[in-house]
Amino acid sequence: MGIVAMNRETSGKIANLSLLPADPIYGMQLLFKSDVRPNKCNLSIGVCQDTQGKTLRFHAVDMAEKNLHNNPYSKDYLPLTGLASFCTSVQELVCGKNDSVTTVQTVGGTGALYVASKLLCHAGISQIFVPDPTWVNHTPLFTSAGLTVSSFPYYDRANACIDFDALCDALNNMDPHSAVVLQASCHNPTGADLTKEQFKILSQIFRKRNLFPLFDLAYQGLGSGIEEDTLGIRIFLEDEHEMLVATTFAKSFGIYNERMGALHIAAPKKAHDSIVSHVRAIVRSCYSSPPAHGAHIINTILSSPELYSLWENELAETRNRLAEQRNLLYSAFQSVKPGFSYAHLMQTKGLFCLFDITLEQVIFLRNEKALYIANDGRICISAINSQNASIIAESMQSL
């Protein structure tokens, strides 16, 4: 049931609104903060951490900010579509050079997905399919934008792998002009990504069934590489789909609270002006214009060869560290030999890995072992270190 329907009986009185459950991820952070146990361990939040467990800061970002301090930019409103130079540089980063793409800056990846949903509504698309499982915010976000949300099979929890046959079957049975969300890389929450061959097959099915692709790219550079993580997007672009790509730069630049995102729109060039006129109308009625600071940070980095190469190296270090952290936990599991499967830790990528455990088991780990993992069994790899790996493995073994 939607939030509005839940409260229909109280209409006209905000004081009568019922208390809604806390957001599953943000709510967990509050619980973690108030936990006084010294051995507590937080694997629930999806941010990249440094070796001290603090949110990772990129030196390239610090240097870009110094540069901006010495060369201040105007504090005037940005255009509704954002900073033009930012849009040009991030478009190339995500889509390569491609005349069929036009890009607008958004308020984070969430804003990009919201504007995308509204644009789909303007185009007469009312149904959207999301992978099962997917990022916890997809369904509420698309629902609140006015789309009808259903899911398609993506991940086989018991066997810890993508169920590609079931996925293709589901696509082959969708109504034409349905929108379908594909995560480009580092799938949240499973870390299980589609291969090049699978993306090629999907592109053909989308074409045959007349489905509308909406890519969500939230972890560019944290899976296989900056360009490698856009593989599926590039395949669909090459096949000339009309499509949308929502991106966030929160994780890839470590600037979560700058709210940096972009929506890339692929359509014949002659349609760009009309499409962007709809985007402007959506943005104006929603948040009016996006924030400037993060756009200047990213633009400074992407337009300076030195800062770009520093950022690229820092991103590669972070990616390699995630692979080492997977290894640490894998080895710890090997030495305690738990009764459940963990081999997929080494086959998945990015910030997350999903374990086939129940909500009761998640609550047990939190209450009895001070181990915080997301309610769906997702753990954040970035929080693993040589001190906590064996404790995590032992706690999970006790299930």
Ligand X SMILES: Cc1ncc(COP(=O)(O)O)c(C=O)c1O
Active site amino acids: 135, 216, 251
DSSP label at 55?
Answer: B
Question: Of these, 58, 114, 129, 135, which contacts ligand X (CB under 6 A)?
Answer: 135
CA distances from 132 to 144, 160, 194, 242 (A): 19, 13, 14, 24
- 338: Cβ–Cβ under 8 A, 6 or more apart, which residues? 393, 396, 397, 399
> Which H/E stretch holds residue 331?
helix 305-336
Q: Which is nearer to ligand X, 214 or 393 (CB)?
A: 214
Q: CB of residue 249 vs ligand X: minimum separation in angstroms?
A: 7
Coil, strand, or helix at residue 280? helix
Q: CB of residue 183 vs ligand X: minimum separation in angstroms?
A: 6
> Does 261 interact with ligand X (rule: CB under 6 A)?
yes
Q: How many residues bind ligand X (CB under 6 A)?
A: 12
| Binders of ligand X in range 108-127 (CB under 6 A) | 108-110
> Does 91 interact with ligand X (rule: CB under 6 A)?
no
Residue 182 near residue 194 (C-beta atoms within 8 A): yes
> Does 183 interact with ligand X (rule: CB under 6 A)?
yes
Instruction: Tell me the angle at which helices 293-303 and 59-70 cross, rounded to the nearest 10 degrees.
Output: 110
| Helix runs in 9-145, H state only | 24-34, 59-70, 84-95, 108-122, 138-144
Candidate segments 50-58, 104-112, 288-296, 297-305, binder of ligand X by CB under 6 A:
104-112
| Binders of ligand X in range 369-388 (CB under 6 A) | none
Identify the CA nearest to 395 among candidates 307, 336, 351.
336
Q: CB of residue 383 vs ligand X: minimum separation in angstroms?
A: 15
> Does 131 interact with ligand X (rule: CB under 6 A)?
no
Question: Of these, 44, 188, 230, 395, which contacts ligand X (CB under 6 A)?
Answer: 188
Q: Which is nearer to ligand X, 217 or 389 (CB)?
A: 217
Residues 202-221: x/- map of binding to ligand X (CB under 6 A)? --------------x-x---
Q: Which is nearer to ligand X, 206 or 249 (CB)?
A: 249
Candidate segments 76-84, 107-115, 122-130, 376-384, binder of ligand X by CB under 6 A:
107-115
Candidate segments 102-110, 118-126, 298-306, 334-342, binder of ligand X by CB under 6 A:
102-110
Quote the distance between the C-alpha of residue 382 and its chain's center.
15
> Which H/E stretch holds residue 322?
helix 305-336
Question: Of these, 41, 46, 252, 371, which contacts ligand X (CB under 6 A)?
Answer: 46
> Does 49 interact with ligand X (rule: CB under 6 A)?
no
Residue 282 near residue 119 (C-beta atoms within 8 A): yes
Query: SS3 letters for 207-220?
Result: HHHCCEEEEEECCC
**DSSP secondary structure string for all residues of 212-245:** EEEEEE--TTSSS-TTGGGHHHHHHHHTT--EEE
Q: CB of residue 28 vs ligand X: minimum separation in angstroms?
A: 14
Which residues in this chain contact ligand X in the complex, by CB under 6 A? Answer: 46, 108-110, 135, 183, 188, 216, 218, 248, 250, 261
